[in-house]
Amino acid sequence: MITAPKLRAGIAAAVALGVAAALSGCASSSPLDSGASSSSDSKTIVIGSQAYYSNEIIAELYAQVLEKDGFTVKRNYQIGQREVYLPQLQKGAIDVMPEYSGNLLQYYDKNATAKSESDIASALEKALPKGLRALDAAEATDQDSYTVTKEFSEQNDVTSLSDLSKVKETLTVGANSENQTRPYGPKGLKSVYGVTVQSKAIEDSGGALTVKALKDGTVQLADIYTADPSIKANDFVTLKDPKNLIVAQNVTPVVSDKVDDKAAADIDKVSKVLTTDALIELNTKSTVDKEKSSEIAKAFLQEEGLL
């Protein structure tokens, strides 16, 4: 039997643990508090990233080439949602963000119709507010996709969304619930490709649970980001989208006025070598090999001769 003092000590230890966990949570939860003030220093370039490991790696690529060129860089990573960081970018608290072209365009222009890579790039120029500009997009895309298993692809002879309409069995899509409301969701599949699908909401954004559901056959199609290492690791087949149902999401640096031509040229160097395959490789090092973003970025840049 546990005596009262022992129990009390145990409780105290548990509480201490909880407090420690809460404190460490706080430390990383509001990165803007610290970043906003110090960015007034005109020589420092503040680089932000989304709360998405792959985005942080790209941000780190920018950071390291800028540092190599003599810029002082302040890193302000893992900032969460577009609704939070884009206003900070407009305010000048952040100077560089790795973005995804299609989503960036739709944030500033809700009625944007551009779907292809080039249309989006030209629409972005007009849509971005004063003080912000998008640098050249990388070839790498990290966008929603409809992905199937290799067996499904071979058995039904399906490699493109246009092939899906001839599949007889009931098709279920595993994706975040928002997929059901997006233009490229079930309604878009119906109207553009004539495919009827059902939805199963799995809220891990194409992560391990979605992959599991696809492998189990609980779903036949899964929305997995094109730069996700799990596609290659599991031999999945990402269905082609000849009619541009899914908006292109090329990795695009969006920068403030503080990024001069010299700095922009440095960032361009990164965008030029960033292909989807390269991005998948970078992501694999993070998710599979558990390397830190700074190490991953450094190795890649050295390989490309940029460091």
Partner 1 sequence: MIIGQAFAWVVDPTNYGGPDGVQARLWEHVWISLLAVLIASVIAVPIGYLIGHTGRARGLAIALSGGIRALPTLGVLTLFGLLLGVNLQAPLLALVILAVPSVLAGAYAGIESVEPVTVDAARAQGMTGWQILTRVEIPLGLPLLIGGIRAAVLQVVATATLAAYVGAGGLGGYVFLGLKTQDYAMMLGASILVIALAIAFEIVFSVLQRAVVPAGVAERSTRRHPGSRERTRTPLPEGTPS
Contacts 24+ apart (CB under 8 A), 258-266: 258/42, 258/45, 258/92, 258/95, 259/45, 259/95, 259/96, 262/69, 263/45, 263/66, 263/69, 263/71, 264/135, 266/62, 266/65, 266/66, 266/68, 266/69, 266/71
Among 9, 14, 19, 22, the residue binding partner 1 under the rule CB under 8 A is 14
Which one, 22 or 265, has the nearer CB to partner 1? 22
* Secondary structure in 3-state letters for 177-242: HHHHCCCCCHHHHHHHHCCCEEEEECCCCCCHHHHHHHHHCCCCEEECCCCCHHHHHCCCEECECC
> Which segment (72-80, 90-98, 195-203, 267-275) binds partner 1 by CB under 8 A?
195-203
Residue 12 gets the label, from left (phi > 0), alpha (psi -120 to 50) or beta, of alpha
Which one, 115 or 182, has the nearer CB to partner 1? 182
12 belongs to the binding site for partner 1 (CB under 8 A): no
Tokens coding 54: 């792959």
> Which segment (48-56, 71-79, 196-204, 279-287) binds partner 1 by CB under 8 A?
196-204
160 by Cβ neighbours in 10 Å (0-12 / 13-18 / 19+) ranks as: middle
In contact, 257 and 239? CB cutoff 8 Å: no
Nearest distance, CB of residue 174 and partner 1, angstroms:
7
Nearest distance, CB of residue 208 and partner 1, angstroms:
6
Among 26, 40, 83, 168, the residue binding partner 1 under the rule CB under 8 A is 83
> Which residue's entry shows tokens 């690529």?
61
Interface mask (CB under 8 A) for partner 1, residues 167-186, using x and -? -------x-xxx-xx-----
Tokens coding 287: 């998710």
Question: Hey, which residues does 171 pair with through a beta bridge?
Answer: 197
| Total number of residues that touch partner 1 (CB under 8 A) | 25
151 belongs to the binding site for partner 1 (CB under 8 A): no
Which one, 173 or 270, has the nearer CB to partner 1? 173
Q: Which of residues 236-265 bind partner 1 (CB under 8 A)?
A: none
Among 201, 233, 265, 288, the residue binding partner 1 under the rule CB under 8 A is 201
303 belongs to the binding site for partner 1 (CB under 8 A): no
> Which residue's entry shows tokens 């302000």?
76
222 belongs to the binding site for partner 1 (CB under 8 A): no
Please tell me whether residue 306 adopts helix, strand or coil conformation: coil
133 belongs to the binding site for partner 1 (CB under 8 A): no
Nearest distance, CB of residue 215 and partner 1, angstroms:
9
Among 115, 133, 212, 258, the residue binding partner 1 under the rule CB under 8 A is 212
Question: Which residues, 6 or more positions from 278, have their beta carbon under 8 angstroms from its beta carbon?
Answer: 140, 300
Among 218, 234, 276, 294, the residue binding partner 1 under the rule CB under 8 A is 218
Residues that bind partner 1 (CB under 8 A): 1-2, 7, 10, 14, 83, 174, 176-178, 180-181, 200-204, 208-210, 212-213, 216, 218-219
